[in-house]
Amino acid sequence: MTVGIIELLTIFALAAFVGNEVISKVPSVLHTPLMSGSNAIHGIVLVGTMVVLADAHGPAELILGFLAVLLASLNVVGGFVVTDRMLEMFKAKPDPRPARSEAQAPDAGAAGGSATTPGGPQP
Amino acid sequence: MSFSTIDFTLADGRDLVYLLVAIGFILALKGLSSPRGARRGNLIGAGAALVAIAMTFTDPAMRDHVAGVSHGLNLALMLIAMVLGTVIAVPAARKVKMTAMPQMVAIFNGVGGGAAALVSITEFLKFPHGSVAVYKIFEVIFGVVVGCVSFSGSAIAFAKLQELMTGRPVTYPGQQAINAFVGAAIAALVVATLVTASVPILVVVLVLGLVLGVIFVLPIGGADVPVLISLLNSFTGLAVAASGFTLGSNLLIVAGTLVGASGILLTRMMSKAMGRSLPNILFSAFGSVITAASVTGGDERPVKSGTPDDIGVLLAYARKVAIVPGYGLAVAQAQHVARELADTLAARGVEVYYAIHPVAGRMPGHMNVLLAEANVPYDQLKEMEQANPEMPTTDVALVVGANDTVNPAAKTTPGSPIYGMPIVNVDQAGAVIFLKRSMRPGFAGIDNELLYDPKTTMLFGDAKDSLQKLVSAVESA
């Protein structure tokens, strides 16, 4: 703990501005994944809990430290996995486009044909 | 300082790696805020976290001799806790249903807040007595209080979303007075802790922090809980930053502060998407006017309900149909059948589009995610702003398990709790069909006049079943 409070406050202040600037325009589709992803990032408190448990002595410190590491592991691991699950849904995006261009190709037959004539036969 | 010799120690190396990790987190946040970079951003974040964790095993705390510390035991406990956490978290996160995502995030957020509070309090136990600067005690108290609020607040948010308790706002007589009392008690005890550095007083502060989290979240209505989780996420970030101050860890300060700052911005964006201000969400006890609103609604008014065949014909001979999905679609996992119906209609030449309210479902973007899973063509998805101008020329609006997001009370009833929230204007379509399980009001707990409108037809039942029946009905129409 040789680092002075002023240095730490400097880092804090700059990080606050970066945090504010880095996410400027988020489409609403991504609000939840972003929340979940940043939730995972604060799971890095695990690093702090590890240091705390490493030189804990006495039952009280050991138990608190153990719980802290456990909770932080849940946060960081679960956070990244759950975010990845949410975002998995987005990777399907490129698929429909090639699929649709195939459907419009001549070999697509009846289904593709009628899909390209919306509002045709019906009143 | 000597420039001729290389004074690069392991400690410098570790700090340098932590700096790269911090940069990784910034890039991760940046990636996560754009559709293209989102998944990569998350992977960068995960990779950076992994590097940081590995590097932490080189920390002097892991081996420096301290009286009474057996590093072997501590390391073993550490590894057990980490493995246990991973073994619990991975299956939980992988198996959680899409509908239960927000409460999953709430849990992971809450435990993070708890961890930060534990770091702060354990470090406090290690402080040498009588020689601690007041600001060090303040850092600890901040971490403990904010971490505890996040922990217990997230637990209540989870209970609300998981429907372990009512999703309605919980209000009781003297609520404001009790909140004020708890707040004042915490403030007084914080001062007492600063002066005395007493462990027992800090423990009382901790308990009051947990109480504060509970009473802070209770009056917030279920529909607003996702916004609340975002706010609590930001709180946890700040608690982590506070424990970073206590430990003198640049990495924790940067990561925690990044999340704290971006989280508050994100929370404001989310509440804006709901057309409300953040203070309004937090302090208005959303829906305390509910009883008044639903009394005027009355329960015994007639509603028109139709058979799948009637509605199938209506859809099949429409020119333009809007599908308006909501939470009911998510619960019933009906996105694939919804697409099937849209395809069947499109094959008959009906123009079909999906009108997506930004906060339909239980989390912003919920519907987009579900419909993307069903490979719905991108050009059929219309955000609310694009969909609303089309509504007057739309023949049929098919509302699948949505309610509050199409409730005209948001435009017409100034007293309503959702007044001012932008809605999908299905009331402007030629006909409205509601696929609903029952007449029960939506998540906000308020009645929807549109259900009783003469141009509205109800089709009761599970959204998936109903859609399946409509597909057959359209096919035979």
Judge: A55–B66 Cβ closer than 8 Å, yes or no. Answer: yes
Instruction: Compute φ and ψ for B456, nearest 5 degrees.
Output: -95, 135
Burial of B383 (0-12, 13-18, 19+ CB in 10 A): middle
Element (H, E) at B431: strand B431-436
**The last residue of a domain, from among B283, B312, B341:** B283
Percentage of residues in chain A having pLDDT higher than 70: 69
Encode pLDDT of B229-250 as tens digits: 999 999 999 999 999 999 999 9
Question: Chain B residues with CB inside 8 Å of A77's CB?
Answer: 85-86, 89-90, 93
CA of B294 to nearest chain A CA: how many angstroms apart? 30
The dihedral sign for the CA sequence B189, B194, B196, B199: positive
Q: Examine the pLDDT at B416 and tell me if it is beyond 80.
A: no
Question: Does residue A103 belong to any structural domain of this protein?
Answer: no
Domain holding B367, by residue range, is 301-476
A54-to-A62, B12, B57, B64, B224 alpha-carbon distances in Å? 9, 20, 9, 9, 40
pLDDT in tens, B77-114: 999 999 999 999 999 999 988 778 888 999 999 999 99
Q: Are the beta carbons of B312 and B385 closer than 8 angstroms?
A: no
* Cβ <8 Å between B229 and A35: yes
For residues B143 and B257, state if they share a domain.
yes
Q: Would you tell me which residues 75-114 of chain A have a C-beta closer than 8 angstroms to some C-beta of chain B?
A: 75-93, 95-97, 99-100, 111, 114
> Can you tell me whether residue B348 is helix, strand or coil?
coil
Asked if the structure places residue A73 within a domain, the reply is yes
- Domain total in chain A: 1
Lowest mean pLDDT among B47-61, B141-155, B249-263, B414-428: B414-428
Q: A55 in contact with B at a CB cutoff of 8 Å? A: yes
Q: Are residues B187 and B322 in the same domain?
A: no
Residue B378 pLDDT: 77
Cβ contact A83–B42 (<8 Å) = yes
Q: Examine residue B76 and state whether it is found in any structural domain, yes or no.
A: no
- The letter for the amino acid at A56 is A
Residue-wise DSSP of B78-145: HHHHHHHHHHHHHHHHHH--GGGHHHHHHHHHHHHHHHHHHHHHHHHHHSPTT---HHHHHHHHHHHH
The C-alpha atoms of residue B383 and residue B404 are separated, in whole angstroms, by 16
Give B199 or B222, the one with higher predicted confidence.
B199
The answer to whether residue A3 scores a pLDDT higher than 70 is no
Residue B285: what pLDDT? 58
Whether A80 maps to a domain, the answer reads: yes
> Is pLDDT above 60 for A108?
no
Query: Do B209 and B354 belong to one domain?
Result: no
Q: Residue B454 domain-assigned? A: yes
Residue B180 lies in a domain: yes
The answer as to whether B295 is a domain residue is: no
Q: Which domain holds residue A50?
A: 44-88
Which residue of A55, A97, A111 is in closest CB contact with B61?
A55
- Would you say residue A20 lies in a domain? no
Any domain includes B429: yes
- Strand-pairing partners, residue B155, are none
Segment B292-316, tens digit of pLDDT: 334 344 445 677 888 888 888 889 8
For residue B328 the two structure tokens come to 């009911």
Which pLDDT belongs to residue B279? 84
Torsion angle, alpha carbons of B175, B179, B180, B181, to 10: 100
Which 8-state DSSP code applies to residue B378?
Answer: G
B38 → closest Cβ in A1, A90, A99: A90
Structural domain total, chain B: 2
| Average pLDDT for B150-169 | 90
Return the sign of the alpha-carbon dihedral for residues B253, B254, B259, B265.
Answer: positive
User: What pLDDT score does B130 carry?
Assistant: 67
ipTM of this predicted structure:
0.76
Closest chain A CA to residue B41: A37
User: Looking at residue B8, what is its pLDDT?
Assistant: 74
Contact B244 A48 (CB under 8 A): yes
Domain stops at, among B229, B254, B283:
B283
> Angle of helix B134-161 relative to helix B225-247, nearest 10 degrees?
150
Check CB contact of A71 with chain B, cutoff 8 Å: yes
B365 against B136, higher pLDDT: B136
Q: What is the pLDDT of residue B303?
A: 78
**B388 and B254 housed in the same domain:** no
Q: In this complex, do B108 and A31 lie within 8 Å of one another by their Cβ atoms?
A: no
Q: In this structure, are B210 and B309 located in the same domain?
A: no
Q: Searching chain A, which residue's CA lies closest to the CA of residue B49?
A: A44
A112-123 per-position pLDDT tens digit: 333 333 333 333
Q: Report the run of H or E that residue B400 belongs to, with start and end.
A: strand B396-400
Considering only A84-93, B47-56, B366-375, B376-385, which range has the smallest mean pLDDT? A84-93
Last residue of a domain, one of B252, B283, B314: B283
**Nearest Cα residue in chain A from B59:** A51
Please, what is the average pLDDT of chain A?
A: 76
Interface check for B361 against chain A (CB to CB < 8 A): the answer is no
CB B216 within 8 A of CB B231: no
Question: Do A66 and B81 lie within an 8 Å CB cutoff?
Answer: yes
Residue-wise pLDDT tens digits, A38-89: 999 999 999 999 999 998 888 999 999 999 999 999 999 999 999 998 888 6
Q: Which of B38, B80, B102 faces A87 most closely, judged by CB atoms?
A: B38
Rounded Cα–Cα distance for residues B263 and A3 (Å):
27
Distance between CA atoms of residues B16 and B112, nearest Å = 25
pLDDT the model gives residue B79: 96
CB contacts, 8 Å: B229 with chain A: 35
Q: What is the mean pLDDT of chain B?
A: 87
- CB pairs A-B closer than 8 Å: 421
pLDDT value of residue B90: 95
Task: Please check whether residue B12 lies inside any domain of the structure.
Answer: no
Is A70 among the domain residues? Answer: yes
What CATH number is given to the structural domain containing B327?
3.40.50.1220
pLDDT at A90: 65
Residues of chain B in contact with residue A98, where contact means CB-CB under 8 angstroms, are none
Domain membership flag for residue B57: no
Query: Does some domain include residue B201?
Result: yes
Residue A74 forms part of a structural domain: yes
| Confidence class for position B443, pLDDT limits 50, 70, 90 | low
Does residue A97 carry a pLDDT above 70? no
**Sheet architecture: strand order including B320-325:** B381-383, B351-356, B320-325, B396-400, B431-436, B456-460
Give the residue on A whose Cα is nearest the Cα of B107.
Answer: A75
Instruction: Determine whether the interchain pair A84/B43 forms a contact, defined as Cβ–Cβ distance below 8 Å.
Output: yes
Q: Which residues of B are catalytic?
A: 404
Contact indicator for B352, B323 with CB cutoff of 8 Å? yes
